[in-house]
Structure formats: C-alpha cells, structure tokens
Amino acid sequence: MSDLTSLTIAQASALIARGELKPSTLTDACLARIDRLDSRLNAFVTLTADLARASAAQADREIAHGHRRGALHGIPIGIKDIYETAGVRTACQSNLRIDHVPTIDAETVARLRAAGAVIMGKFATHEFATGSATPDQPFPPSRNPWNLELQPGGSSSGSGTAVAAGFCAGAMGSDTSGSIRNPAGWCAISGHKPTYGLLSRRGVFPLAPSFDTTGPLAWTAEDCALMMDVLAGHDPLDPASASVPPVAYAKAARQSIAGLRIGLVKHWYAHADGATDDMVKGIDEAAKVLRDLGCTVEEVTLPDINDYQACGRVIISTECHTIYRSEVDKHPEKFGYTTRRRMQLGAFLTAEQYVNATRFRRKLQVDTDAAMHGFDLLMTANHWGPPDRFENPPIFHFLGKPSLPNPFNVTGQPALTVCCGFARDGSALAFQLAGRPFDDATVLAAGSAYERATPWRDKRPPL
C-alpha cells in the first residue's frame, strides 16, 4: 500500500475486511495528512483527533474479534458543521452559534456512528449554508485543493475540500440549491443529492425545509452508494422523511447500465453565455462514453432553467427568512453582512408570491416528469466553468446566472455529480445525472459505471 489517504471507501473497506489494514492505521494516516496540509486548506473548523483515535481503536478491537459492522466500519468520515454532534461544537460558520455544543447527534450522524464510521470532526461551511466566503465570519474559508487561489464551492465547502485533499474517505453535506453538487463539481469528486425525503434532516440546521436535503460526498459514486446504504431510511421524527422499501445502493452501483436511456439537457448550458467550450466538449465526450457502455443518450427539452431558478429562489428566500427573522432582528451584528442581507430578502416577498411559487413548483415537477417519458435518467452540466476566485461576491448572486443544480432541488429528484475531466486551465469538468424520485440506485449505477470506464478517478490534487 502506498498512500493510505488516497484509498476509496470501497478499497479501504475491503482491506479492513481482509485484515490487511487497521482502522487506527488509516485514521492516523489521515490525521497526519491533516496536520501537514489543513493550515493551507482550512477544511476543518473542529478537528476531533482524540475522539477519532478512540473510535478507530474501538473498531480495531471489534473487527479483530469478528464483530465487523459493515462497509463503513473503521472508515474516516467528516461532518459539515451544520449537523449537530453530541459534545462537539456546531457553529454553522456563525458568531450566533459560536458556543453551541449539542447534547445529541443528528440522525444521520447517529447512523454513521452505529455503522462504525470514525468521525474526524466538523467541516467549514458557508454561514447557515446560505452565506458566502467572506471575511466577517468566525472561521477562514476553505480553499480548493486543486488551486488554493480558487473557492471549493459551497455551501458544503469544507466537505468538498477534505475529500479531495484526502483528509477523510467521505463527508456529509447538505443540498438546498446545489450545496453538495457545487463543491463536488469544483473539487473533482462525487457528490449525491438524494431524493427529497430519503435521508433524515433531523438535527441539521435548516435553510428552506421544503428543499433541504442531506447527503454524501466521496471520491467515487460507489463510495457515495456505500454511505447511502447506511444513511437512507425512514425517520418518523422528520416530518418530510419518506417510508420506502430499503435499497442496496452499493450493489446497484456495481451493475451494468447497458440499456439505460438518458436524456441530455443540453439547452440548459450550451449557449453563448453559458458553459465554457471545455465544459460542453467534456460533457459531449462523457455522453459518448455512456453510449459505449450500452446507453442511449439523446437530447431532450425541459422547461427553461430560469423558471426553476425563479421558483426555487422565491421559496428558499421566504422559508429562510421565516426561520431566521427573529434572530436577525435581535442580533444582526452576529451575522455576516452577506448572510444577513440574503436572509432579509424574504421580507420583501408576499404570501401570495410564496403560494404561487409552490403552485409553479408543482407544474415544473409535472412538466419535468413528462419530459422524462421514455428516459431513465437526465444528464446536464454541473457548473458553468472554473471555480470562483476569492473576491467580494455579489450579495444576491442568484439573481444573475441560474444555478445548474437547482432544478433538481425544485423537483426533488436524486442528482449525482460526476467528474468528467479537466479544462485547459486545470479546473474540473463535471456533469450531473438525475433520476426519477426514489430511483437513486440507477443514478449511482450510471455514475459509477462512467467512473470505472474513464481515468479521472486516478488523478489527485498536487498538494
């Protein structure tokens, strides 16, 4: 074994199962890499090194005595700092919660612990998952491991940075308007936004409850599937949680995808002021790979992406303002300026506009489903071009170019980010695969098959 920190979850899990790797050895390798590199990358806001070592040592003992809990037993995993973690600060990148130490775990964190995962600590985020990388927040912003002058994407910024940098094998993020898929795409990793309601959100600070989704980031789609096997399941204490039959996601991720029909939503991005030429070419080449794997890939027309953007923004802004209005009014100085202004935008929206947006959302869901007739999956760009630099971002950035991930938050469909190479400037190229609600298995199978057929998972950031 060369560099343990470059092992995928699947690879590390297989070595642990065969007795060729101890969880404590893997955890120590990750902690050494964190110690060497994170002062430059700022992925962690709270590193729980002692707790991680204790958890790994416990995994050593249990596995040695034949009590292996499953594929995640002994695997280093990090948590976005909007997830509550018992006894460990959950600050949400905000001075408002800087001293908040929960007494219980978020449901998904509890499931990871029960599966034997080694929790490494808490990752940087944008403030309450809606701010941006600005200097008026309590922790420095994470940086992109491929180019430290660039942002890693948000709001699950630290999660994307950490996985790409080899600080952990997997991470938890959240996705209300692309916040798993943005950093996954910019950091050249895999990120899965599950079907709305498939994973519990209990114990995770909300942004817009009718959109909020929790989910995994990892080096590969197969690794995301392994995490989904542990994370998915009904939570009766989450009012949005769906009760659906269990699915073996990792098993599905290893199956053939021959015969799948994929609709390429090219009109969303392939226009003069849209995606870069490199991105358009990269996705065209990815579509050819999928055809070579036995899929049919044909262009399909969906509603205008600006319709999804307008609908989603009205709902998200209204719900976010409703949740945080009282605290913004009482303690405006404890919020970053950009965060505060974005939260306050909802005050200018009326109940009529919110209701109309929810009705329009239903229409978009119906129209999207109709456009998918005859297709198993949709395929489109994940982001427009190179990552943003660390400059003062526009406060209301979402009033400009629409978000490519956002349509699948509006519809609630599962969507996976897959790296499809690198542009001439070195920045990552990526596409999304989206499926029908609760058919996350097919999405993960297609992403995993593409990754196995291409060389992009062999390239790591030159840190």
Active site residues: 80, 155, 179
CA atoms of 159 and 191, how far apart (whole Å): 10
CA atoms of 39 and 161, how far apart (whole Å): 12
Q: Which residue has the tokens 């070579």?
A: 292
Contacts of 455 (CB under 8 A, 6+ apart): none
Reduce the DSSP state of residue 85 to 3 states and report it.
strand
Contacts of 236 (CB under 8 A, 6+ apart): none
Concatenating the DSSP letter of every residue in 9-78 gives HHHHHHHHHTTSS-HHHHHHHHHHHHHHHHHHH--EEEE-HHHHHHHHHHHHHHHHTT----TTTT-EEE
The DSSP letter of residue 374 is T
In 84-146, beta strands by DSSP E: 118-123
Q: Of the candidates 71, 449, 50, 22, which has an alpha carbon nearest to the alpha carbon of residue 254?
A: 449
CA atoms of 426 and 429, how far apart (whole Å): 9
Q: Of the candidates 408, 366, 375, 383, which has an alpha carbon nearest to the alpha carbon of residue 300?
A: 375
CA atoms of 198 and 124, how far apart (whole Å): 24
- For residues 220 and 190, is the Cβ–Cβ distance under 8 A? yes
CA atoms of 148 and 142, how far apart (whole Å): 9
Contacts of 409 (CB under 8 A, 6+ apart): 175, 176, 177, 178, 193, 196, 211, 213, 312
Concatenating the DSSP letter of every residue in 395-448 gives TTGGGSSPPSSTHHHHH---EEEEEEEE-TTS-EEEEEEEESTT-HHHHHHHHH
CA atoms within 13 A on the CB side of 86: 10
